[in-house]
Amino acid sequence: MQVILIGPPGSGKGTQAKRLSAQLAIPHVSTGDMLREAIAEVTELGKVAAPIVASGALVPDDLMIGIIKERLGRPDAAGGSILDGFPRTVVQAEKLDALLVQRGGNGAKNVRVVQLLVPDEAIVKRIAARRSCGNCGAIYHLETAPPAKAGVCDRCGAGLIARVDDTETAVRKRLQAFHGQTMPVVSYYRNQNLLREVDGVGPVDEVFERIRKSLS
């Protein structure tokens, strides 16, 4: 199954994608995580992406398409994957279609697009309280899902950090990019009758249950 998760920044795509990946036994492909890794490792891609990601704008389509093409071409993604953060523009969506058709197999036929619905006001509140593990990527919320020990990851013991693009200015810019560039992707899939809308407000377990039902 090829799952595409779409939602505004901080809508819970990453958290839900990790769970879905475990349940469906297909890889979680997060372009945001891949970019953050490239930035941390100061690769050529990382150098280009760093200021763009920090500002909250979108990285150019040709770069993103290159990354996805390489990632989806690896053997573990042959049976599908959970795409989190891609496609974010209509150009990316069209390219993804072409890639899936080219590759054939299970992924191409079995596409499910899930849109997580979360209002903008809820987003700004969520993101201000978001922390993630600098080592394993686990995600916490200071109020609704705090770590057992402040500032320390429950899973691996490393330190928790706030993302550089979780500032108020960058979050506004990310919301703008979502409404301007990614909402047309939602229409693109709606027109193909592929879109499943899921209420993203509520406890993580409940949202997960809604997503699971929407996929069946």
Catalytic (active-site) positions? 13, 88, 130, 163, 174
Which of 86, 140, 189, 208 binds ligand ADP (CB under 6 A)? It is 86
Under the binding rule (CB under 6 A), the answer on residue 38 touching ligand ADP is: no
Under the binding rule (CB under 6 A), the answer on residue 32 touching ligand ADP is: yes
- Rounded alpha-carbon distances, angstroms, from residue 111 to 48, 151, 193: 31, 38, 11
Which of 27, 56, 80, 200 binds ligand ADP (CB under 6 A)? It is 56
> Count residues contacting ligand ADP (CB under 6 A)?
19
- Return the residues of window 100-159 that contact ligand ADP according to CB under 6 A: none
Task: Please answer whether residues 62 and 68 qualify as being in contact, where contact means their C-beta atoms are separated by less than 8 angstroms.
Answer: no
Q: How far apart are CA 200 and CA 211, in angstroms?
A: 9
| Stretch binding ligand ADP (CB under 6 A), from 37-45, 52-60, 102-110, 204-212 | 52-60
Least Cβ distance, residue 56 to ligand ADP (angstroms): 5
Pairing of strands 82-84, 2-6: parallel
Least Cβ distance, residue 149 to ligand ADP (angstroms): 25
Which of 48, 59, 129, 139 binds ligand ADP (CB under 6 A)? It is 59
Q: Which residue of this chain has its Cβ atom nearest to ligand ADP in the complex? A: 32
CA-nearest of 120, 98, 125, 101 to 183 is 120
CA-nearest of 127, 170, 152, 155 to 13 is 127
- Where does residue 117 fall: left (phi above 0), alpha (psi -120 to 50 degrees), or beta otherwise? beta
Angle at 114 between CA 110 and CA 115, to 5 degrees: 155
- Of 141 and 213, CB closest to ligand ADP: 141
- Of 92 and 195, CB closest to ligand ADP: 92
- Which residues of 2-159 form beta strands (DSSP E)? 2-6, 28-30, 82-84, 111-117, 130-133, 139-141
Under the binding rule (CB under 6 A), the answer on residue 12 touching ligand ADP is: no
Sign of the alpha-carbon dihedral angle for 128, 16, 85, 65: positive
- Return the residues of window 62-81 that contact ligand ADP according to CB under 6 A: 64
Which of 140, 174, 200, 208 binds ligand ADP (CB under 6 A)? It is 174
The type of residue at 144 is: T
Contacts with ligand ADP by CB under 6 A lie at: 9-10, 13, 31-32, 35, 52-53, 56-59, 64, 85-86, 88, 92, 165, 174
